[in-house]
Amino acid sequence: MNEISRSSSPSASRSGGRAARRAARATALPDHLRPIRPGLEGGQYNPLSQADMERIHNTALDALERIGLADAPESGVAYLIAAGCVLGEDGRIRFPRALVEDTLARANRSVMLCSRDGKTDLDLSGSRVHYGTAGAAVHMVDVHGREYRDSTVQDLHDASRICQQLDNIHFVQRPMVCRDIPDNREMDLNTIYACCSGTFKHIGTSFTDPSYVAPATEMLHMIAGGEDKWLERPFVSNSNCFVVPPMKFATESCEVMEACIKAGMPVLLLSAGMAGATAPSTIAGAIVQAVAECLAGLVYVNAVKPGAPAIFGTWPFGLDLRSGAMTVGSGEQALLSAGCAQMHRFYDLPGGAAAGASDAKLPDMQAGWEQMCSNVMVGLSGLNMVYEAAGMHASLLGFCHESLILGDDLIGQAMRCVRGIEVTDETLALDQIAEVCLGGSGHYLGTEQTLGRMQSDHVYPALGDRSSPKEWAELGKPDLIEKAIARKEQILSEPSPAQFDPALDMAIRETFRIHLPL
């Protein structure tokens, strides 16, 4: 007998049901029974048909064979020619179709992005979906003053610490630039320090010069506990804009990429054309160019080191053709990234794209609809790595800690959509319907099945408000932004579990100029 049908008093029944629900919510579920978790399988949404994907693939191969890419560094030219590319009299590297297809056949499809403590590793096989931060915002959003200010290394460290405490943020690619560190070498090294000392989760970072990779690798060896341990579990990857669209290599970034591959660092091959400016204005055309550029990058990576871990980072962005402004929060952006995710599945390659960013300047209603639209669509499309999924505003110019925290709730709901609907004998619930309707209580509140599945089937927002207007008023009419501010302050008032051991921290500070205070 369930709790409600056992009682003759309606008020006692309601109280008992509430107590049971509170008890159920207070009991932590094991990971395999959580309603959402990293790596849920997407792929339910397919904006492209099989014929569409084959046409995009063949057009990309034609572009690589006929047009090729310009501006490869000397080292890259040597690698690519040795692999079978052709250097034309116009200086462009062209990619024979057979070479690209052979590279696709032997590319690394078993990429695991490691965390520092081994508890939040990311398996990028198939259509497993992971959400995280990214970008190079130069401003922080001040929700108190509704203003923008320069981002700092402290802001980056705080973002990393916040991400460590957010279940639905699965990785931390550097979301902002440390504008208070004018020296680029020190900025790159402090970026790694600030992120790694704030979270155990996988880190993504960039380098402004190839010569900075060696000292960064030295720091990573120190953090890992030795070169052997680093090579066994590299917990930082290189986000590399190896191309300058349309169809040109970014010479210095390619040299950075070569150095990172040799250092054992996974590489994100990032092609970020602007549809209508540096990429075709049509969604299909922008996807073709991004695919072609990333296929060239895949050949490059495997020419440097066969089987090196690489993420197929097709990141085309939308453009408002009336003004020339980016439209990262548009429906077109959502379709661009969803189509790219489908191409990753077409190749069965680990892939990433941008989603979840907003053109809104503050975490308001516009930000909400823009962030949810693309986060849901790419998740349903099976995108392995959803970059810029939380906290990013003003078309990638601003980052907001409070929005990052609110984004954790938003992504939770998006992930529940990715999980989809399970249809089994148990979930069809015929026996339960019969029990309730044929002599039962006439409702499902408090039944064994409802209580048994209330946590495993449902995602409950941490900050989102589901109270009635009366309850909301009784609680003092709490504001969502104020709740996010309070959560931020609570997280930052406590030391990060990922902070370095004092001896290690001292050794790093003696070797490198660290700008974060002790």
List, for residues 261-299, the tens digit of each pLDDT value.
Answer: 999 999 999 999 999 999 999 999 999 999 999 999 999
Q: Would you state the pLDDT for residue 26?
A: 52
* Position 24 pLDDT exceeds 70: no
130 pairs with which residues across the strands?
A: 385
pLDDT, averaged across the chain: 94
Task: Read off the pLDDT of each residue in 59-71 and give the average, rounded to a whole number.
Answer: 98
Helix (H) or strand (E) holding 128: strand 128-133
Hey, how many other C-beta atoms are within 10 angstroms of the C-beta on 194?
A: 27
Cβ atoms of 204 and 268 closer than 8 Å = yes
Burial of residue 26 (number of CB atoms within 10 Å: 0-12, 13-18, 19+): exposed
Q: What burial class does residue 311 get, using C-beta atoms within 10 Å of its C-beta: 0-12 exposed, 13-18 middle, 19+ buried?
A: buried
Between the two ends of the chain, the Cα-to-Cα distance in Å is: 59
**pLDDT tens profile 88-108:** 999 999 999 999 999 999 999
Return the pLDDT at 508: 98
pLDDT digits (tens, 9 = 90+) for 342-381: 999 999 999 999 999 999 999 999 999 999 999 999 999 9
Q: In the predicted model, is pLDDT for residue 2 greater than 70?
A: no
Total residue length of the chain: 518
> Which comes out higher in pLDDT, residue 20 or 43?
43
CATH of 109-419, one of 3.40.50.2300, 3.20.20.480, 3.30.720.110, 3.40.50.300: 3.20.20.480
Q: Do residues 355 and 389 touch, judged by C-beta distance below 8 A?
A: yes
Sorting pLDDT into bands at 50, 70 and 90, what band is 31?
Answer: confident
Question: What confidence tens digit (pLDDT) does each residue in 418-457 have?
Answer: 999 999 999 999 999 999 999 889 999 988 899 989 989 9
d(CA 185, CA 241): 18
Residue 40 CA to residue 126 CA, distance in Å, equals 10
pLDDT for position 23: 54
What residue segments make up the domains of the chain, in order of their start?
Answer: 50-103, 109-419, 427-459
Cα 42 versus chain centre, distance: 14
For the cut 70, the answer to whether the pLDDT of residue 122 exceeds it is yes
**Residue 508: how many CB atoms within 10 A of its CB?**
20
Distances 184 to 17, 32, 154, 179, 482 between C-alpha atoms, Å? 59, 43, 16, 10, 36
Element holding 379 (H helix, E strand): helix 365-380
Asked if residue 28 has pLDDT above 80, the reply is no
- For residue 190, pLDDT over 90 is answered with yes
